[in-house]
Chains A and B, each alone.
Chain A
Amino acid sequence: MASAQNLNAVRETMDVLLEISKLLNTGLDMESLSICVRLCEQGINPEALSSVIKELRKASDAFKASESSTN
């Protein structure tokens, strides 16, 4: 299953996707991207996923802001 070709292709795909992601300025790093890709491959609704990610970011920002303010 995991042939060298396959692995190569996958890596290439991921590179491409990372490029695209950078183009689109999504703010996703490689790992997050790979997780997202995996989730999407499994059939998760991308809309929902994106909203989740946005929510998480918002939360983290807020957290960071509160942290910085308290600090």
Chain B
Amino acid sequence: MAALDQKSPNVLLQSLCCRITGKSEADVAHQFQYAVRVIGSNYAPTIERDEFLVSEKIKKELLKQRREADAALFSELHRKLQTQGVLKHRWSVLYLLLSLCEDPRKPSSRVPGYGALFAQGLPRDAHSTPFYCARPQSLALGYADRAGSMHTSASLGTSGISSLGTYTLNGPTLTPPCLLPQTQAPGDSLRQQLGPRLAWTLPPSASPSATAPTSRTSLGPPGPAVRALHRPRREGDDGVAEVSEVALVRDILYVFQGIDGKFIKMCSPENGYKIDAKMPLSKSLRDISSRLAELGWLHNKVRKYTDARSLDRAFGLVGQSFCASLHQELKEYYRLLSVLHSQLQVEDDQGVNLGSESTLTLRRLLVWTYDPKIRLKTLAALVDYCQGPKGGELASAVHAYGKTGDPYMRALVQHILGLVSHPILNFLYGWIYDGELEDTYHEFFVASDPTVKTDRLWHDKYSLRKSMIPSFITMDQARKVLLIGKSINFLHQVCHDRTPPGKITPASKSTESPKDAAELITDLEGAFQGKIDAAYFETSKYLLDILNKNYLLLEHLQAMRRYLLLGQGDFIRHLMDLLKPELARPATTLYQHNLTGILETAVRATNAQFDSSEILKRLDVRLLEVSPGDTGWDVFSLDYHVDGPIATVFTRECMSCYLRVFNFLWRAKRMEYILTDIWKGQMCNAKLLKAMPELSGVLHQCHILASEMVHFIHQMQYYITFEVLECSWDELWNKVQQAQDLDHIIAAHEVFLDTIISRCLLDNNSRSLLNQLRAIFDQIIEFQNAQDTLYRSALEELQFRLQFEEKKQQREAEGEWGVTAAEEAEEKKRIQEFQETIPKMRSQLRILTHFYQGIVQQFLVLLMSSSDESLQFLSFRLDFNEHYKARDPRLRVSLGATRGRRSSNV
């Protein structure tokens, strides 16, 4: 051996050539040259100089050939070799031997012999360095086609099958750190870690890396897919044609798009994707396929929805934009699918052996489609939720879905919400800046009623469609929006004010793009509110300015007060003076033009003439319906004409309220007037009738009754004028001055009228009170009549007596008997007659008084039990000296009981 050591390589080489070929040295020249060339070019080995690794490889080889005993033997020999320590490059020798190793089962020809064992290795060698694990799961596919090599993996180790079996049951535990795409270094290091363990086959431990060696033989990186793949392989028999993973992957790709694959078909009764049960498919593959098929199901759902809805024109703009956004998402999804498909194509083109960087397995698909699955799930859930609604409701539904903690989902829903709400915001801006409403599909929350004419524009034409208000717009904002648009339309149509809206609100125009809409949605509190508020203030202010300047709204309000609510005292007084003789006639004889003439006179004679002509020309007389037996007093009424924009505030209902109140006030005023007359008469005639002492009792009664009545009426008037009219008016005026928009004015006005009506006992609750009051008024009129007759007869009597006296004196002056007996007797008789009428009058008055007081007491009782505080105070005032309380036990009880308390228990 020592001598041999000293020979040069060339010599050795030559001798080797001779030896192997069995020829003489001269014949092997060609081969020798070749050999020299090869050796020379590949001088430095490219493999790792790891003897241990090589020995492992050898053992593996032996095990692969099911020669476990030989493997053990080799181990022994190797140990011996190591102990001997003669060789310096043991690894080299071992490697050489390994590379010359031949599987005795393989066919004898050497050329295919290369391929048999090292097919996986060789192409790698052809690339660059061996053991390069850039080719992962192509191996899996390779196995699919090579039935023969399957049992190589299956036969791995004595306990190999069982141990791997346990792995299938446990399932993949940890995924090894390096998945795909693989790089060389980690694979190598992993390999080195795993290499040694191979020797002791595969102890059934749960360490995941231990399973990797099964794939290590296949030279790919230990991907979980390979592990998974080994599982099915194990269960299958070698000979049966199982459905390959490639075919399944292809199928799955079709299913992703919603098309039925060869094995996986849509099963409509169960509404799901089902794998054909007859196919020889392992359970795990089935499971994975089912999980992946879910994606196809989701896709179908979303697709069906968008297809159905896109065609439906009545779905509206919002719905269309929703479909568009869904479509966008689906496009992304399709892009992913096309990428996957191209991967598959590449594999097909290049053949299974080579494979590209990353090939498709079900596992890979699972990982890659995880994110899209979440997306599609969200979309499908949205689709479910939004099946029915459209317009604003749809936006609300989408918005509701955005309330989730998952940021990914939230971002997605926000994006869709931005797109969906873009048309709504367009509507909104068109409405609040231009007053235009072009909403063919009834999606916006402002609804316009086309049947309403301009005079009811403000009240009836525009309303809120509550169901269409998106949930991200509050009720308050929605009302403001309605108001703004209404104001603009009002200005245009009723006030005939054509100022372009740009002048009113110098705000920006509508959103240009969905991105603005999306931004606005996210900043609802700030920017959106600000926009609406600004538009609201500007528009309302402008409207009020126009109304006040051009249409004198406030002036008209005051005029109403003055004329219809008897505010202008001197005018009303004078009018009444002038009208008194007219109105005393029966109603049928009255003519309107007469009364109008009187009205004009009254206006000219008083301060009313200084009012603007605009107001005066609206003032008019109105004659109410005539019932038989009416005097003029019952049918007379003033009227005030309103038209144009003012009619919005003074609607017909309001005007009728005004007229009712006027009626009431006019009556009360008339009572006052009557009593004034009575008092006047009393004052005048008192002195005159002092000469008739027998009348004094009657007259006294009259006076008492009259003062009672006067007191009563005075208190009523005070109550009406001050507590009702003035207070309410003050409130109204304040509110109107501070009003920010027309709605406020209208509301304040209505409150005013309601208060007046209820306080003036004109509403339904106070009907009994009103009847009482009317009865009192009637009594007053009766009293007036009675008093008139009394005075008339008394004055007549007085006249006669005076005449008699005069005659007597005249006769005495002439020297005759003053009074003849017959005349005296006549006189006496007359006086007697007269005096007999006095008790009648007295009793009449007494009855009148009694009746009157009874009514007043009832009135007081009712007042006490009313729920309105001011009426209760009225009752105090009316009975301030408890005059009535003394008379009526009922009053005593009720007054005592309810004083300080509000109740209606009487």
Contact = CB atoms under 8 A, between A and B. Distances in A.
A59 B45 contact: no
B305 interface: no
A17 B34 contact: no
Contacts of A42: 9, 12
Indicate the member of A21, A36, A44, A60 with the most B CB atoms within 10 Å. A44
Interface in B827-885: none
A37 B96 CA distance: 9
B45 A45 contact: yes
A32 B19 contact: yes
A38 B12 CA distance: 8
Contacts of A20: 58, 74, 77-78, 81, 94, 97
A47 to B, nearest CB: 6
A20 to B, nearest CB: 5
Interface residues of B, number: 60
A23 B45 contact: no
A11 B21 CA distance: 25
A7 B143 CA distance: 49
A36 B96 contact: yes
A63 B98 CA distance: 26
A38 B42 contact: no
B35 interface: yes
B441 to A, nearest CB: 78
Contacts of A46: 45, 92-93, 95-96, 99
Contacts of A10: 1, 86
Q: Which secondary structure dominates chain A's binding surface?
A: helix
B96 to A, nearest CB: 4
B110 interface: yes
Contacts of A24: 58, 61-62, 74, 97-98, 100-102
B21 A41 contact: no
A52 B47 contact: no
Given A24-B98, A47-B47, A60-B22, A54 B110 contact: yes
Contact of B20 (A14, A21, A23, A56): A56
A17 B81 contact: yes
Interface in B1-16: 1-2, 4-5, 7, 9, 12-13, 15-16
A70 B17 CA distance: 24
Given A26-B100, A48-B42, A41 B16 contact: no
Indicate the member of B35, B39, B93, B99 with the most A CB atoms within 10 Å. B93
A42 to B, nearest CB: 6
Given A9-B86, A46-B95, A16 B77 contact: yes
Contact of B80 (A1, A2, A16, A27): A16
B388 interface: no
Contacts of A63: 21, 23
B39 A50 contact: no
Contacts of A27: 100, 102
Contact of A41 (B39, B41, B87): B87
Given A10-B1, A20-B97, A43 B89 contact: yes
B812 interface: no
Contacts of B5: 38, 41
A31 B70 CA distance: 23
Contacts of B44: 45
A43 B42 CA distance: 11
A63 B28 CA distance: 12
Nearest to B5: A38
Contacts, number: 168
Contacts of A26: 97, 100-102
Q: Which secondary structure dominates chain B's binding surface?
A: helix
Contacts of B94: 20
Contacts of A38: 4-5, 7, 12
B11 to A, nearest CB: 10
Contacts of B102: 24-27
B15 A35 contact: yes
Contacts of B610: none
A28 B101 CA distance: 10
B900 interface: no
A41 B88 contact: yes
B738 interface: no
Contacts of A47: 42, 45-47, 95, 99
A1 B96 contact: no
Contact of B93 (A25, A29, A37, A58): A37
Nearest to A35: B16
B73 interface: yes
Given A23-B74, A25-B102, A36 B16 contact: yes
A45 B39 contact: yes
Nearest to A43: B89
A25 B160 CA distance: 25
B84 interface: yes
A44 B31 contact: no
B104 interface: yes
B16 A13 contact: no
Contacts of A53: 16, 20, 100
A1 to B, nearest CB: 6
Given A32-B20, A47-B95, A7 B15 contact: no
Nearest to B28: A56
Contacts of A52: 13, 34-35, 38-39
Contacts of B95: 46-47, 50
Nearest to A28: B100
Contacts of A31: 19
Given A38-B5, A44-B9, A45-B39, A50 B86 contact: no
Contacts of A55: 31, 34-35, 38
Contacts of A54: 100, 110, 114
B591 interface: no
Contacts of B93: 17, 36-37, 40, 46
Nearest to B70: A23
A40 B96 contact: yes
Contact of A50 (B15, B34, B100): B100
A25 B104 contact: yes
Nearest to A29: B19
B750 to A, nearest CB: 105
Contact of B84 (A13, A34, A44, A58): A13
B279 interface: no
Contacts of A61: 110
B821 interface: no
B20 A57 contact: yes
Contacts of A16: 77, 80-81, 84
A48 B96 CA distance: 9
Contacts of B86: 6, 9-10, 12-13
A61 B108 CA distance: 11
Nearest to A48: B42
Contacts of B80: 12, 16
Nearest to B62: A23
A43 B39 CA distance: 11
A47 B131 CA distance: 14
Indicate the member of B2, B44, B87, B110 with the most A CB atoms within 10 Å. B87
Contacts of B1: 2, 7, 10-11, 14, 34
A59 B27 CA distance: 12
Interface in B743-792: none
A41 B9 CA distance: 10
29 contacts: A9-B85, A20-B77, A21-B97, A23-B70, A24-B61, A25-B102, A25-B103, A32-B16, A35-B19, A37-B87, A37-B93, A38-B7, A39-B12, A39-B13, A42-B12, A44-B43, A45-B42, A45-B44, A45-B45, A46-B95, A51-B38, A52-B39, A53-B20, A53-B100, A56-B21, A56-B35, A58-B111, A60-B22, A61-B110
Given A2-B2, A23-B62, A50-B100, 4 more contacts: A13-B81, A38-B4, A42-B9, A44-B43
Interface of B: 1-2, 4-5, 7, 9, 12-13, 15-17, 19-23, 31, 34-35, 38-39, 41-47, 58, 61-62, 70, 73-74, 77-78, 80-81, 84-89, 92-104, 110-111, 114
